[in-house]
Amino acid sequence: MVSAQSSNLGKTYSLLMIKSFLIWTFTLAVCLLVVGFPLVVLMATVGCLLSIILQSVMPVSAVLLVAGALIMFNVMAVVLAAGVLTVKGVHPSEIKWLSWLHGEADQMQATVYAACPLTCEIKM
């Protein structure tokens, strides 16, 4: 009975770890594409220059090599960062600025009308 419960807890924990890893992978990939757009443009520029330089050394596969290396670098960076955050135990629901990920609406400030400071404090 005890071993069945510990096995069930182990499965639950591993499923939570996998879920956390997949959520972190998705979140970091989206952030890289949206927020990191200047970084992507910089990497594309460096990749173009590098492929032009490598074209004289290996004319057949320079562009393929550089494009594959840049894509693999981005994928490995996202997977490695997601793995580190998962192993450290940081769950995306703990991060304040990721409220868009769980569907929680940001708390908007209440509307303050111009007459309210004059009339709201009146007690009769």
Interacting residues of 50 by C-beta distance below 8 A, sequence separation 6+: 66
Choice between 49 and 107, residue whose per-residue pLDDT is larger: 49
pLDDT digits (tens, 9 = 90+) for 79-94: 999 999 999 988 877 7
Q: Which two tokens stand for residue 40?
A: 């992507």
Instruction: Tell how many helices (H) and how many strands (E) occur in the chain.
Output: 5, 0
CA dihedral sign of residues 111, 117, 120, 121: positive
pLDDT of residue 82: 94
Q: Which two tokens stand for residue 75?
A: 């994928």
pLDDT digits (tens, 9 = 90+) for 27-48: 899 888 888 888 888 998 999 9
CA dihedral sign of residues 96, 97, 98, 100: positive
* pTM of the predicted model as reported, rounded to 2 decimal places: 0.68
> Once rounded to an integer, what is the mean pLDDT over residues 93-109?
68
